[in-house]
Amino acid sequence: MDMNNPVKAKIRKGVPVFGTWVMMGDLAAAEILARIGYDWVAVDIEHTAIGYETLRTLVCGIQRHGAQPFVRVEENDATVIKRVLDCGATGIIVPQVCSAREAERAARAALYPPEGLRGISISRATEYGANFQDYFRSINDQLVVIVQIEHIRGVEAVEEILAVKGVDGIFVGPYDLSGSMGIVGEFEHPRLKEALNRAARAAKQAKKALGYHVVAPDSAQALQRLEEGFNFIACSTDTLFLHHSATGMLAALREQAEKMYETDGRG
């Protein structure tokens, strides 16, 4: 197994990376997204019912089709992070990090000793022991650890969070962040914009990844975030891609069918 992580290399160079979310827990959806060419495809086990047995299958499928398998864990917990990484994830996204102490907890849970406290075991990540030595020697350097800034407290501590060793970047959760500020979903609100600007300045200063979830399957919105300096961009979700494509096609067909029906005099 190749232990080099292209996403980690791009982050170190400041090159933008693009990914998407798997919410359905369906292997076909995960493999399709991986084959398209996204740098990373993240399985979301925070907001879904996806379990560890399904997670292992999804991680395998994503990896097999050329993308890096990331996982958004359900909580900042050492056991959860260990189990996810043992499934073979090469990156983790940790929710609701509001302080440097919480960021350090996430990083130490993800890294093997002496840098961290991750438990050592024979698992899928090590090819069930066949690749143990290479994995153990390289994973601390190749793993991507992203912490989510989803509360105004996280923004207020963002400089200290980014200074934590082992944290490769931050990922802004716009809905939760706006909710913590009492302006749910008001993405053009000046206070939210200033919070995002502070996070962007801090990430640029620290030379670490700056992430944002463009929820709608809208390339114009993603391009806007790219121009604003975000360089770790999550593009919608499998569920929204499916909904957007299916509804768009049906709407176009119904509109044209109605025009044809009226034109031939049957209306």
For the annotated catalytic residues, the residue numbers are: 47
Q: What angle do CA 94, 9, 226 make, to 5 degrees?
A: 70
The two counts, helices (H) then strands (E), for the chain are: 12, 8
Q: Which of these, 48, 127, 120, lies nearest to 87 by C-alpha position?
A: 127
Residue 80 contacts by C-beta under 8 Å, 6 or more apart in sequence?
73, 74
Q: Which residue has the tokens 């890294």?
A: 111
| Those residues with Cβ within 8 angstroms of residue 211's Cβ, 6 or more apart along the chain or in another chain | 146, 169, 170, 171, 172, 230, 231, 232, 233, 234
Let me know the angle formed at the C-alpha of 130 by 129 and 134, rounded to the nearest 5 degrees: 90
Task: Copy the structure tokens of residue 16.
Answer: 């933008």
